[in-house]
Chain A
Amino acid sequence: MRSRLTLRFIALGYLFLLLAAPVGLVFFRTFEHGFGPAWEAVTTPEAQHAFWLTMVMVGVAVPINTIFGVITAIVLVRQRFPGKALMNAAIDLPFAVSPVVIGLALVLVYGNTGWFGGWLTEQGIQVIFSIPGMILATIFVSLPFVVREVVPVLREIGTEQEQAASTLGSNWWQTFWRITLPSIRWGLTYGIVLATARALGEFGAVSVVSGKLSGETETATLFVEQRFHQFDLTGAYAASVVLALMAMIVLLSMNLLNTRRRS
């Protein structure tokens, strides 16, 4: 019993010192002088623009990754083709590659001197140091989540119901919409939540491809860094608290979804 209490004490102490105390302190520091200064700091035009831009990133990257994620998961589970193992491995790459390397990779392809840069410039399209590049970076880092959550569910449900539906004359879209999608809905939602969290918080890759123009190409995470470097700790803390609250909403939805999935 004593040893059990000791282990509990060590584990909880470790979590407190590493997680709870630092995050708690930032909340405290933000509201140290009341709610007013914090509110002002996150409602400046730059801050509002930064959060709006973060929402744009999430709003574009997550739906794209959801659609392609479901297609890719179906392809991986239901089809056999040469190169399938390669594709399966390639999907996990964004988990393993440093965000800075991801940013560099996009610059080398879509930047002015990159592989497609010349052609893009001729068409008058600027990708790097502008919003399309930041969206590409966000798509890259949040790409695996939907696929990885949907693949095991698809494997588990098998194809019997889908076969029954098609025997009864439903076309592929009806089968997908009425049979497949309802079966994968919780796994899919879980994947979307994870992808949203990743897209909200991305810093390194976006940092490389953004021009870091305040009020133009600055997302919420870049805004936190910029405020910190401008010695505006209130601004940095307040924006961090907003991002941390979003993270906590994500955690809460993960918990709810996990209970749902188990029942």
Chain B
Amino acid sequence: MRVPRIPGAALAGGISMLYLSVIVLIPLAAVVSRSLDGGIDAFWTAVTNEQALASLRITLIAAAVVAVINAFSGTLIAWVLVRDEFRGKNFVNSLIDLPFALPTIVAGLTLLALYGPRSPVGVDIAYTQTAIVLALLFVTLPFVVRTVQPVLIELDRDMEEAAASLGASNFTIFRRIILPNLIPAILAGVALAFARAVGEFGSLVLITGNLPFKTEVASVFIFGQIESDRVTGAAAVSVVLLVISFVVLLGISFLSRWGSKHAQ
């Protein structure tokens, strides 16, 4: 029997496509088109401008550092939430999603309150590269935890018990049995965290001070270019960020296919 069709199924498809085009696709195409307004040479000049290059370098290094830290901290937190029992675990579990729900500007402001010039504990990292990493760690916290957690829950305990009865130490069990099963999930979470970190803006504007060549990340550089009406330069650096996001998205879809193969 045929699937009951919405009258004018083609119409529904057309509406969806039109909606996506007006909101997402046409505007993004405009960025690419604008970046190439002056030809490929102008694009290249804009991207290789010293300040632009510095902002891209700072962004990529900070995002990479944050991705690596997340691989460890995210896996650890997921493990504690799944395998450990303690009072208030449910509360901690729901706290993990706070960075998704909290506006980024508020995230930046709260970090600045504790780790800025008016810090009550005397730690002042405002306007340094450490501040970039800290803010990015805040906003990317949920990714690895939330990709690893379900895999850990589903993980069969038989193999671990078998290994333990054969005398394997806890660390050996983790390294040889648990970790191989988690790797696809960890990598997927890390990729999501990296993509988010590369584009992050709101949590960084207050705490990094936006010092060119020191703490100015790519999104802040783009913002500055727009404000000073150098739109082509803004578009060129934006295209670099778009390309990075595409590569990461492709990587994630490749990982999820690899992950499901791995699970079989």
Contact = CB atoms under 8 A, between A and B. Distances in A.
A90 interface: yes
B80 A201 contact: no
A186 interface: no
Looking at chain B's contact residues, the main secondary structure is: helix
A7 B79 contact: yes
A103 B219 CA distance: 11
B97 A100 contact: no
A159 interface: yes
A251 B98 contact: yes
A108 B222 contact: no
A157 interface: no
A159 B222 contact: no
Nearest to B3: A159
B254 interface: no
A246 to B, nearest CB: 8
Interface stretch (B11-19, B41-49, B150-158, B177-185): B11-19
Interface in B81-108: 81, 84, 86, 92, 94-106
B6 A172 contact: yes
Interface string A2-24: 01100110111011001111110
Contacts of A83: 17
Nearest to B6: A172
A68 B13 contact: no
User: Interface on chain A toward B: helix, strand, loop, or mixed SS?
Assistant: helix
Given A71-B12, A101-B31, A106-B27, A23 B222 contact: no
Task: Name the residue among A114, A172, A201 with the largest chain B CB count within 10 angstroms.
Answer: A201
A159 B106 CA distance: 44
A203 B141 CA distance: 19
A139 B27 CA distance: 13
Given A8-B84, A108-B235, A99 B12 contact: no
A201 B13 contact: no
B15 A71 contact: yes
Contacts of A165: 4
Given A163-B1, A243-B106, A107 B76 contact: no
Residue among B170, B226, B241 with the most chain A CB within 10 A? Answer: B226
Interface string B189-200: 000000100111
A87 interface: yes
B20 A91 contact: yes
A57 interface: no
Interface residues of B, number: 83
A32 to B, nearest CB: 11
Given A78-B3, A98-B219, A93 B103 contact: no
Interface bracket on A: 35 or more
B40 interface: no
B25 interface: yes
B127 interface: no
Interface in A122-155: 136, 139-140, 143
B209 interface: no
B20 A101 contact: no
A8 B80 contact: yes
A175 B100 CA distance: 35
B219 A97 contact: no
Interface string B207-229: 00000000000111011001000
A22 B27 contact: no
B61 to A, nearest CB: 17
Interface string A219-246: 0110011001000000011001001100
Nearest to B75: A11
Contact of A97 (B20, B28, B94, B97): B28
Nearest to B104: A203
B28 A240 contact: no
Closest A-B pairs by Cβ, 8 of them: A98-B199, A201-B103, A105-B27, A204-B201, A203-B202, A247-B101, A22-B110, A166-B4
13 contacts: A14-B76, A18-B141, A20-B95, A22-B113, A25-B114, A79-B13, A81-B13, A93-B28, A95-B195, A175-B4, A247-B106, A251-B98, A251-B101
Interface of B: 1, 3-7, 9-10, 12-13, 15-17, 19-20, 23-28, 30-31, 33-34, 73, 76-77, 79-81, 84, 86, 92, 94-106, 109-111, 113-115, 120, 134, 137-138, 141, 170, 195, 198-202, 205-206, 218-220, 222-223, 226, 231, 234-235, 238, 241-242, 245-246, 248-249
